[in-house]
Amino acid sequence: MIAVRLIVCTFSRTWRHRCVSESVQSFRLWTCRSCSSVAGHINNNNNNNQHKDMRIMEEMLRRTVVPLPNYETRDKSPPPPDSNSLDFMHFYRNLGKEQRLVFLEILSREYGVDHRGASEMARKLVDIQSRDLATILQAEDRLRYSLTPRYKHLLSHVSKVEGGVKFLVDLRAEVLDFTSKVTDSPHLRDLNSTLKSLLSEWFSVGLLRLERITWQSPCELLQKISQYEAVHPVRNWTDIKRRVGPYRRCYSFTHASMPGEPLVVLHVALTQDISDNIQSIVREFTTLDAVEEVEKINTAIFYSISSTQAGLQGVDLGNYLIKRVVRELQSEFPHMAQFSSLSPIPGFTSWLQGFLVQYRKDGRATELLSEHEWSEVEEATGAVSGAAALDALRTLLASGDWHHSERLVRALEPFLMRLCAWYLYGEKRRGYALNPVANFHLQNGATLWRLNWNADTSPRGIANSCGIMVNYRYFLQETGVNSKAYLHNKVITASEQVLSLVAQFQKNSKL
């Protein structure tokens, strides 16, 4: 018996209002060998309490997860009462994190697809392949219906009650977290797929509202925009006021079922040309009361895009937000000719350290830098040539101290720019760009256009990408072709600057 101390409830018609939380002592996760499911184990041998807890869970699920209607009557069956959805939501919210994992595992395993029924439908479909098309199509529809998890109907009805959609978004965020830690739970993974499918329908672009955020927007919304900013943290109220002020735009997608909650946020700088550093955008401002001179605005720089809801991971919102914002800006500034991101390169420094370690193991340390570059590093660090100099270089890069030496900054620029170009262009996962930001923009049809040295000199920028940033440029007439080439053929469209750096890296590294 899977045992877990749950919320002890007194059942009545209003049981959900009478729940009392009991403390959970010494709760730890374990894997049940007999059913290969995640369960909870309490260091308390009181079997009566454990059985009572399980009965409470099972009774709640029996009441709220109704059986699938028969295929013939599926369109005529009355919907379950809203109280089922409310009971389910209330019960789940009062569970601790470990208990939620157990609860979701049981829900996904016991109330999923009727595998025996689905197998029977599949056999029937195979047996009637010689029949007429109408009969085959109906059998296919029956099979499709039989593959519906029972819990899917509960989730669909939860979305119809107040706060239900937000509940499901948060629920999927927890399912994603659990599946990342529990590798042997196919039922949880199937629950995640079902939730993603439902959320993708509910959050399709046609149901989203584009909203421009200004200083006149509600204070609560501005506060959320500040809190959700994941790329370049907002320092104070003056900072956020400037980011929505003159020569700046801030847009978000919202959904009617989650009022006041930005789903994905895009920050834009309006400039004369394509920016090559973030300091000029987030640290150097015009006055707050400045009047925009339209003739000075020729370029839109997308310098920050943040998804705010972990539960919407994999639901494509950022791509559509950029496209909608481009149309919005073209309407406001018909003469605007250039659209580009100014993007961070998360993960570059971590990848670089691993790359250097591998080269050291292979005895190829001297191949990475030219003789002149090595001499500069050796003199600046006092290390002898070869592996020792490479170790000293790795230490400098890890600490960020190299950036305080003008000599090292000059010496390392060509080396780091070469490797960064290769990281973005040549390092792949399943044929696509390893870097997640690169993969996002390349999927959208952008061009890997320009690497920028000393583009983010903040401690965070130095630590994440050695201060390098990249422009992904959107040539509007080419995005469709570029996107197709990347998604279908795994071809990255890149500028001459990037390709030249890649070629230099390959020559130096003998790739």
Look up tokens 């997860």; give the residue. Answer: 65
Alpha carbons 6 and 95: distance in angstroms, whole number: 7
Can you tell me the distance from the alpha carbon of 356 to that of 264, in angstroms, rounded to the nearest whole number?
A: 36
Q: Which residue has the tokens 């009774």?
A: 59
- Give the pairing of strands 299-307 and 338-341: parallel
| Pairwise CA distance, residues 293 & 272, whole Å | 11
In whole angstroms, give the CA distance from residue 105 to residue 89: 16
Give which of 468, 412, 399, 394 is closest to 437, Cα–Cα: 468
Partner residues linked to 251 by β-bridges: 212, 266
Q: Which of 232, 343, 403, 465 is catalytic?
A: 343
Q: Which helix (H) or strand (E) holds 266?
A: strand 264-271
Q: Is 441 a catalytic residue?
A: yes
Nearest residue to 153 via CA among 218, 80, 236 = 80
Task: Tell me which residue of 46, 48, 6, 47 sits closest to 27, measured CA to CA.
Answer: 6
Q: Amino acid identity of 238?
A: T
Question: DSSP string covering 25-64, please?
Answer: -S-EEEEETTTTEEEEE-S---HHHHHHHHHHHHHHHHHH
H-assigned helices in 8-163: 47-64, 82-93, 97-110, 115-127, 133-146, 150-158
Q: In 3D, which of 103, 114, 113 has the Cα closest to residue 60?
A: 103
Helix 97-110 × helix 164-181 angle, to 10°: 90
User: Residue 495 carries which DSSP code?
Assistant: -
For 20, which DSSP code? B
Q: For residue 226, what are the CA distances in angstroms to 230, 237, 244, 483?
A: 9, 9, 11, 31
Q: CB of 339 within 8 A of CB of 380?
A: no
The single residue of 157, 255, 267, 441 carrying the catalytic annotation is 441
252 catalytic residue (yes or no)? no
Q: What token pair was written down for 433?
A: 């760009």
Question: Measured between alpha carbons, how far is 331 from 314 in angstroms, rounded to an integer?
Answer: 30
- Nearest-angstrom CA–CA distance, 105 and 302: 41
CA neighbours closer than 13 Å in the CB half-sphere of residue 459: 2
Which active-site residues does the annotation give? Answer: 343, 441
